[in-house]
Amino acid sequence: MTNKLEAERPLSPHLQIYRPMLTMMMSIAHRITGAGLAVGFALLTWWLVAISIGPNAYAYVQDFFGSLLGRALLFAFTWALIHHMLGGIRHLIWDTGAGLDKQTIEIFALATIIGSIVLTVLVWIIGYYAMGGL
Amino acid sequence: MATPLKRVRGLGAAHHGTETFWRQRLTAVANVPLVIFLIWFVVRNAGASYNDVKACLASPVVAVLMLALIWSGAIHMRIGLREIIEDYLHNKLCKTASLMLATFFAALVGIASTLAIVKISFGG
């Protein structure tokens, strides 16, 4: 009986019905970067634990982070962290009730994308510069 | 007042009210400066020797900020991961197991990182 009722209940259109919009993609990106940061947290934990174990464990981690895969992971981690942070600040502003009009939302979305890319590249340039690689 | 008491209290179906929502915001606010600190710390120590990184982490200010980041981050991560699981996993067993795993993961990285910082701080 209940199953029959549930089956006949009208369903609201889901994601695939709508034309993809920037703000909707940003909402999805906020979740994906958030989930990705769990991997980043595991990397940070690995790094800290290796330092607490000793020079050999640290050298092993540094070798991994220095590899192409390691650097790709760290670059993705940096971007996800900054993107999620800027997206989070956007959410905190919305929590106050401000910036919820259509135009501001679009500006926030663009600012988060451009800001996260620019800041990530900047962090890596400074990082390489600090290492004497530039 | 004709309003049922449970609604006046506004604690919702899970009886926790807005506790999780608020904790997510609280840790989010804390995470902003702490994440900036983490980026600064990692960039500053990029390519540094083992002894230099260890000495830097052993400094009380760095250790306190790092512990704050780990705790605030782990709590925020647990809430976020659970939110995703609650939204997308509908099989009861799968959902419950995943929610448990999210908590175990947050606790594991939190405890391991904390122990590492404490060990380094005490010169281990």
pLDDT at A7 over 80: no
Per-residue pLDDT, A3: 58
Query: Phi/psi class of residue B92: alpha, beta or left (left: φ > 0; alpha: ψ in -120 to 50)?
Result: alpha
Which one of A37, A46, A49, A52 makes the best mutation probe of the B interface by having the most chain B beta carbons within 10 Å? Answer: A52
Per-residue pLDDT, A132: 77
Per-residue pLDDT, A4: 58
> How many A×B Cβ pairs under 8 Å?
83
Mean pLDDT, range A27-49, rounded to an integer: 97
**CB proximity A38 to B under 8 Å:** yes
**CB proximity A118 to B under 8 Å:** no
Domain with residue B69: its CATH number is 1.20.1300
Is B11 among the domain residues?
Answer: no
For A77-124, what is each residue's pLDDT tens digit?
999 999 999 999 999 999 999 999 999 999 999 999 999 999 999 999
For the purposes of burial, counting CB atoms within 10 Å of the CB of B77, is it exposed (0-12), middle (13-18) or buried (19 or more)? Answer: buried
- Shortest alpha-carbon distance between residue A53 and chain B (Å): 8
Question: What are the 10-residue block averages of pLDDT along chain B, 124 residues in total?
Answer: 63 80 97 98 91 96 98 98 94 97 98 98 86
At the second CATH level, the architecture of A23-130 is Up-down Bundle (1.20)
Contacts of A88 in chain B (CB under 8 A): 28, 31-32
Choose between A17 and B105: higher pLDDT: B105
Per-residue pLDDT, A1: 46
> Residue type for B71, please?
W
Query: Domain limits at B45?
Result: 27-121
Report domain extents, chain A. Answer: 23-130
Cα separation, B85 vs B94, whole angstroms: 9
A14 is in an annotated binding site: no
Is B19 among the domain residues?
Answer: no
Alpha helices in B1-124 (DSSP H): 5-9, 19-44, 50-58, 60-88, 92-121
Confidence of residue A35 (pLDDT cuts 50, 70, 90): very high
Per-residue pLDDT, B20: 92
* CA closest to B55 among chain A residues: A51
Tokens at residue A104, please? 């501001």
Computed over every residue of chain A, the mean pLDDT equals 91
Domain count, chain B: 1
A57 φ/ψ angles, rounded to the nearest 5 degrees: -65, -40
Tell me whether residues B38 and A95 touch, CB distance under 8 A.
no
Per-residue pLDDT, A18: 81
* CA closest to B58 among chain A residues: A52
Is B92 among the domain residues?
Answer: yes
Mean pLDDT, range A4-23, rounded to an integer: 75
Cα separation, A33 vs A47, whole angstroms: 20
**CB proximity A112 to B under 8 Å:** no
